[in-house]
Homo-oligomer: A and B are copies of this chain.
Amino acid sequence: MSTSEEPAPAGVVHRHIPPASLARLTIYLRALGALLADGVERVSSDELAEAAGVNSPKLRKDLSYLGSYGTRGVGYEVSYLSDQISAALGLTRNWRVAIVGAGHLGKALAGYPGFGSRGFEVVALLDADQMVIGQEVGWLRVSPVKDLEGVVQRTRANMAVLSVPADVAQELCDRLIESGITSILSFAPVVLQVPDHVQLRKVDMATELQILAYHAQRAQASEIAAKARARLGT
């Protein structure tokens, strides 16, 4: 298990964690953190699965992509498993995040608690608005987005968050990539074009709400249908 595909350079590089598992591993990590804070030393897959809101075979399968870190008949040691997941996700490195756009969203992100911890550090906060530039937000001062390239270089940022209006998102995305950033998390409600070597993830609130609306509408519709059927039945 947990073989590397090449002679392996120093650290163990795991062979491909499926995207669906990857997303859940971050949830397990958070649940383990909570257990650790509570002083819990061991968990079974059932308990951890419960805390993470999944079923236990799925959790065990997910963990099996990393290796065998449990003890049969006993369970998992909380701190050890937490470390192993962190390592597999690349959270032992220190990621330096530049937040582009210092509106309410950008400020919310800059102040996000689970952000500073877990290997992420916000090293820059940028905005185009003269009224906002120079403001202090937490430990940071808002830099002019005009100087994006310089700021990225000086702060050695290696990740970026885009929290800007849709109409300027592509332009700023291009400039980030030009500056050497290859990992971008975008909150802008537009489809961004990026080259293959750049990792782009999107968070889209409009999409989320619309999906909720779809389910709510269906629930309502089938409720109405049920009532109609009941009326006809009696």
A-side residues, CB < 8 A to B, are 6-9, 11, 13, 17, 19, 22-23, 26-27, 29-31, 51-53, 88-91, 93, 95, 97, 103-105, 107-109, 111-115, 118-120, 158-159, 165, 182-185, 189-191, 193, 197, 199, 201, 203-219, 221-222, 224-225, 228-229
In the complex the two chains form, is A114's CB within 8 Å of B29's CB? Answer: no
Excluding A109-B205, A182-B219, A183-B216, 5 further A-B contacts by CB distance (< 8 Å) are A8-B225, A9-B228, A23-B207, A95-B216, A159-B212
Smallest CB separation, A188 vs chain B (Å): 10
In the complex the two chains form, is A108's CB within 8 Å of B104's CB? Answer: yes
In the complex the two chains form, is A52's CB within 8 Å of B205's CB? Answer: no
Which of B90, B113, B207, B217 has a CB less than 8 Å from the CB of A213? B90
In the complex the two chains form, is A210's CB within 8 Å of B29's CB? Answer: yes
**Among the interface residues A27, A109, A217, A225, which one has the most CB atoms of the partner chain B within 10 A?**
A217
A219-B201 contact given A22-B211, A31-B191, A105-B105, CB 8 Å threshold: no
In the complex the two chains form, is B189's CB within 8 Å of A30's CB? Answer: yes
In the complex the two chains form, is B185's CB within 8 Å of A212's CB? Answer: yes
Residue of B nearest to A30 (CB): B189
Q: Write out the residue numbers on chain B whose beta carbons fall within 8 Å of the beta carbon of A185.
A: 205, 208-209, 212
**Among the interface residues A9, A31, A119, A190, which one has the most CB atoms of the partner chain B within 10 A?**
A9
